[in-house]
Structure 1
């Protein structure tokens, strides 16, 4: 029994990262998809934010990481995390990543976030968040059309959330994890 436990401990210690392979998959998937320049700007800004990617990371405490993860259904959170794990194997696993910072959520939905019970994300909130975040980083690139942003970002996110025409904080946070 002792040797079996010892072998298990050795095996577990040799594979300390849950993100093993995430960098490879993310970089190859990211390069192969039809990503618009504005989406790359969001993700690049995310990956350049020390608070988001250093140590165990806090991707969902950074607007550009959240915006990059929701702007296109071929990027999504797994790709952002995978790209962040390339220079930092210590970054937390998806399930262990801190929850969506409520200040970031409030920047999406507005002041109603602070009212009792909060408020969900609407389609207009989604569009405004993407464009506002692009403006915040000084991007000169924008979605090719709002219709494309909605069909490739909002509608797949809404379908995933399965919460009607809006997305509450809890479902949005679940999506990011």
Structure 2
């Protein structure tokens, strides 16, 4: 294989001479993911051995965003929602397989959820974002609202998936009753390794 890197034009004896300058190149061989990364990709949109097509809408878009340079996973609405339905371990793991920056940051090194994104979840918060709590209904609205923003035609089952599996996992990990304060919500993304 070779590629053109330039050309040379010269004038001799009243005529033109044109030469292409080429260099040999190695063929581009796509890098195969490690077995660990392949296992993460193969289990995309599964959480506690449960697959969700709606979650796959979110996780696929999150992965596209990572391929396009996204590093700050917890300040991207789609990746935040994707992590709630497939777990943080898988979301950060897939991100680390794609992005060396995410790999270097790891769970604990990713930035905290910014207040402007948090306020899109706790829409009725009228105080400092750190004092607001996420309710079950706010999480449900955030999850379905994110699918809606993507134009999804696939929807999760409200009771068994959104509430019974994903919200319950966050709520139970936080251990704060029926609501999850900002600090605990943010900590779930950084420390639960769910």
TM-score range, shorter chain: 0.7 to 0.9
2:75 is aligned to 61
| Structure with the greater alpha carbon radius of gyration | 2
Distance across 2 between alignment mates of 1:28 and 1:138: 24
2:18 is aligned to none
1:135 is aligned to 148
1:115 and 2:127 are equivalent in the alignment:
yes
* Secondary structure of 1:115's aligned partner: coil
More helix by share: 1
Distance across 2 between alignment mates of 1:63 and 1:175: 15
- For residues 2-41 of structure 1, the aligned pairs below 5 Å read 23-30=37-44, 33-41=49-57
Divergent runs of 4+, >6 A:
none
* Secondary structure of 1:151's aligned partner: helix
Task: State the Cα RMSD in Å.
Answer: 2.3
Structure 1 position 102, deviation (Å): 1.6
User: What whole-Å deviation, never above 9, does each CA across 1:14-63 have from its counterpart, x for those lacking one?
Assistant: xxxxxx9863452244377432111011111112225x9737x1000101
Distance across 2 between alignment mates of 1:87 and 1:96: 17
More strand by share: 2
Distance across 2 between alignment mates of 1:39 and 1:31: 5
* Secondary structure of 2:113's aligned partner: coil
The size of the alignment, in residue pairs, is 152
Note the residue ranges of structure 2 that are not aligned, 5 or more in a row: 1-33
**Is this contact kept in 2: 1:121–1:166, CA < 8 A?**
yes
Match of 1:86 among 97, 106, 127: 97
**Is this contact kept in 1: 2:45–2:56, CA < 8 A?**
no
Note the residue ranges of structure 1 that are not aligned, 5 or more in a row: 1-19
**Is this contact kept in 1: 2:92–2:107, CA < 8 A?**
yes
